[in-house]
Amino acid sequence: MPSHTRTRQLLTVVLVTILAASLVPGTAVAQSGIGGTTTVESGETVSEISGVYGTVVIEGTVTGDVSGLAGDIVVREGGVIEGDLEAAAGTIQISGTVMGDVSTGTGSISVTETGVVEGNFDVGAGSVRIDGRIDGDATIGADTIRLGDEAAIAGSLTYDGDLRGNRDAVAGDITRDRSLGFGLFTDIQPFASWLFTISTFIFNLGFGALLLGLFPRFSDRIADRTAAEPVKSGLVGLGTLLGIPVLLVALAITVIGIPLSLLGLAVFLVVIWIGLIYGRFAIGVWVLSRFDIDNRWAGLVVGLLLAVVLWEVPLVGGPLNFVIFLLGLGAFVLALGSRRRRIDSTGGSTSESI
């Protein structure tokens, strides 16, 4: 392999590793952006947290607001949010202190015995459990609402849902407002959908960058093959998608074949992901070629964005994305076969490996 090719591939691995590191658990230096996990360590102080994260963990102090989208938000005992908590999340646990208001849509939220919300508590959720203290008013729309023995709500409680537990925890009035329904909980649905979409786009972009950076000429050949032989690529993709699982099941019938079948399944799932990326890459390259633009990186971004847009198109969006996937999978399999034949014909000498 030429030294310049090896150097390019090494640099690509380094860059993609840095990208991947921002998407997996770890302590984020910046508290604003997109990533896997952002943590405010005990004794650490940051001005605010905003963005899209898999998990937000607060053990130290946030002097401003916490806002954005997250899979999980955890305010540990000793953690402090001096501003408001205004975020949509899958789950939220408050064991520390929120000095402002809590306004959120979430799957479930709990205020533990050490948790304190000094402002108002406006929540739409699947389930809510309060064992700590809320100094303001609480407005809750949820499937189940449980007030623990140690719970304390200094203001009034307006709710809709199944209220259980210690009603004496509420110092003010308790009012059921059926107009709340799941209105607040429903508000999180578009946020959760976009959180999933953004996260998927980022991971696909990172993996696509890895493929294009390490195997640029191979990737270009896949795009060319998809454009030149769409029917053949699609049929090969469909055959691969249907045939490989049958082979894996047949292999798993024998006891000795079970480990091999499981390994084959893992490899097949990776191939599926590669086919998905290459399908979108090929379509992006084809679209740009209509405008006389020849740039594989732009093609990757355009293809991934096009897939996102298609998912929003009723009825035809999903089938079109599936067809694009089959094109990429088939072109990938065909390109692997052609590459194998070239290697055999040249005695195993290639300048680009895959």
Taken as a whole, the chain contains a residue count of: 354
C-alpha to C-alpha distance for 103 and 87, rounded to whole angstroms: 7
Q: What is the dihedral of CA 177, 181, 183, 188, to 10 degrees?
A: 120
Closest alpha carbon to 128 in 143, 148, 109: 109
For 282-331, give the DSSP string.
HHHHHHHHTTT---HHHHHHHHHHHHHHHHTSTTTHHHHHHHHHHHHHHH
C-alpha to C-alpha distance for 88 and 50, rounded to whole angstroms: 11
Kindly tell me if the per-residue pLDDT of 80 is higher than 80.
yes
Assign 147 a pLDDT band (cuts: 50, 70, 90): very high
Of 94 and 335, which is predicted with more confidence? 94
- pLDDT of the residue at 18: 43
C-alpha to C-alpha distance for 297 and 309, rounded to whole angstroms: 19
Task: Please report how the helices 257-289 and 317-345 are oriented relative to each other, as an axis angle in degrees rounded to 10.
Answer: 110
289-314 pLDDT, tens digit each? 999 999 999 999 999 999 988 887 88
177-191 pLDDT, tens digit each? 877 754 444 555 555
Instruction: Decide: residue 142, CB within 10 A, 0-12 exposed, 13-18 middle, 19+ buried.
Output: buried
Angle at CA of residue 89, ends 65 and 23, nearest 5°: 90
Closest alpha carbon to 123 in 85, 150, 97: 85
- pLDDT of the residue at 27: 38
Dihedrals phi, psi of 208, to nearest 5 degrees: -65, -40
- pLDDT of the residue at 354: 52
150-186 pLDDT, tens digit each? 999 999 999 998 999 999 999 999 999 877 754 444 5
Dihedrals phi, psi of 314, to nearest 5 degrees: -60, 145
Share of the chain above pLDDT 70, in %: 81
Kindly tell me if the per-residue pLDDT of 24 is higher than 70.
no
C-alpha to C-alpha distance for 212 and 271, rounded to whole angstroms: 15
Assign 193 a pLDDT band (cuts: 50, 70, 90): low
Kindly tell me if the per-residue pLDDT of 98 is higher than 90.
yes
Q: Which tokens hold the place of 344? A: 């055999």
Contact 213, 16 (CB under 8 A): yes
Kindly tell me if the per-residue pLDDT of 10 is higher than 50.
no
Q: Are strands 85-94 and 102-111 parallel, antiparallel or unpaired?
A: parallel
Closest alpha carbon to 51 in 35, 64, 68: 68
C-alpha to C-alpha distance for 99 and 135, rounded to whole angstroms: 10
Q: What is the rounded average pLDDT of the residues 43-69?
A: 88
Kindly tell me if the per-residue pLDDT of 26 is higher than 50.
no
Q: Any alpha helices (H) in the chain, and if so which ranges? A: 3-21, 183-214, 216-228, 230-252, 257-289, 296-311, 317-345
| Domain layout of the chain by residue ranges | 3-181, 188-345
C-alpha to C-alpha distance for 143 and 166, rounded to whole angstroms: 17
Angle at CA of residue 202, ends 196 and 32, nearest 5°: 85
- Greatest mean pLDDT among 186-190, 199-203, 320-324 lies in 320-324
Angle at CA of residue 272, ends 271 and 275, nearest 5°: 85
Assign 144 a pLDDT band (cuts: 50, 70, 90): very high
Q: Are strands 66-75 and 49-58 parallel, antiparallel or unpaired?
A: parallel
Angle at CA of residue 188, ends 130 and 73, nearest 5°: 50
- pLDDT of the residue at 77: 95
Enclosing H/E stretch for 149: none
